[in-house]
Amino acid sequence: MSVAPNVSKRDERREGILDVARDCFLAEGYAATSMSSIAARLGGSKGTLYNYFKSKEELFGAVIHRQCSAALAAMQALGGDETDPRTCLVRMTRGLLSHIMEPDAMAMNRLVIGESERFPELALMFYESGPRRGQELMAERLQALMEAGQLRRADPEEAASQLKDLTVGNLMWLKLWGVQPERSAADIDRYVAAGVDTFVRAYAP
């Protein structure tokens, strides 16, 4: 009967480790962060940390996976069961953009880009956990709309890439580079809606 509380406590401890590790990685960078420094911030021993994660790379992968999973869950939920293509795609891409533009997500993007030359495996890890899976989910939704006759048939992967560029790409890059003042939610809504409208016209059945 004591198994469930123990599992819950372990999960809670793991989440706490991920919170601290994320803060360390974002503040110090991947190379400068060590398992020792993370353990020190946690207030425990390095041995305890290794009970949860075998290496710094595995720990970083878990941080990335958790970060990306939130955005992917939002995409799936907001895509919903809408049968109207425009409504479905506006909700899905707006939800994705909202998560991408959150401060922690932007900081993680900058970290991965900054470390990618020395640690290319980090960029691949990030891509596989987030951008690639997000595009796959988008492609699955587009394929369903194509099969229902609501969009013309085409390569769903290519269509997903184009939809993402129309609704996410420019705003994401401007935010990532820090070259544009914050936009209002209404401005972002209009940008996403215009991108979806362009896409829906191009893929009209």
Query: Following DSSP, what letter does each residue of 140-165 receive, concatenated?
Result: HHHHHHHHTTSS----HHHHHHHHHI
Number of domains in the chain: 2
State the amino acid at position 129 in one-letter form: S
Judgement on whether residues 40 and 3 belong to the same structural domain of the protein: yes
- Do 161 and 95 share a structural domain? yes
Low-confidence ranges of the chain (pLDDT < 70): 1-7, 78-82
Residue owning tokens 């069961």: 81
If asked whether residues 10 and 108 sit together in one domain, one would say no
| CATH code where residue 42 lies | 1.10.10.60
Residue type, position 77, single letter: A
Residues 42, 92 within the same domain: no
> 102 in the Ramachandran plot: left (φ > 0), alpha (ψ -120 to 50) or beta?
beta
Torsion, CA 156, CA 189, CA 106, CA 155, rounded to 10:
10
**Where do we find the tokens 């990030």?**
126
Predicted pLDDT at 11 = 82
Q: For the chain, what's the residue count? A: 205
**Domain check: are 30 and 126 in the same one?**
no
Q: Which domain holds residue 6?
A: 1-54
**What CA–CA distance (Å, rounded) separates 114 from 127?**
14
